[in-house]
């Protein structure tokens, strides 16, 4: 597995610094959590397997925002707008 660098730029190349971020915010992993009834919790449950418990909440919130365009807990109307 690639070294996890939560601040890395999303990069679709396997093994790169930003692969994990790309996978969960733009790649195939996005569908595993973004349409969940509780997307923050779903993403956090996936990321806890790869990140330290001390940073997982911050990284989850940032990647949630990066992928969906709004912060967790922010009211929104309609379906979740998955950015492409």
How far is residue 62's CA from residue 15's CA, in Å, rounded to a whole number?
A: 21
19 token code pair: 């692969």
Query: How confident is the model at residue 80, as a pLDDT?
Result: 67
Query: How confident is the model at residue 4, as a pLDDT?
Result: 58
> What string of pLDDT tens digits covers the 84 residues of the chain?
344 556 678 888 898 889 999 999 999 999 999 999 999 999 999 999 989 999 999 999 999 999 998 999 988 766 666 665
- Measured CA to CA in angstroms, residue 53 lies from 15, 56, 62 at distances of 22, 5, 15
Instruction: Indicate the pTM of the whole model.
Output: 0.82
| Best CA proximity match to 47, nearest among 74, 67, 73, 77 | 67
Query: How confident is the model at residue 6, as a pLDDT?
Result: 62
Taking the CA atoms of 13, 15, 16 and 19 in sequence, report the sign of the dihedral they define.
positive
């Amino acid at each position: 597995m690639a070294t996890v660098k939560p601040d890395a730029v999303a990069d679709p190349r396997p093994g790169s610094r930003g692969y994990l971020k790309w996978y969960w915010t733009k790649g195939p992993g996005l569908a595993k959590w973004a349409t969940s009834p509780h997307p923050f919790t779903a993403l956090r449950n996936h990321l806890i397997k790869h990140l330290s418990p001390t940073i997982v909440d911050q990284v989850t919130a940032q990647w949630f925002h990066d992928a969906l365009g709004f912060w967790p807990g922010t009211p929104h109307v309609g379906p979740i707008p998955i950015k492409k």
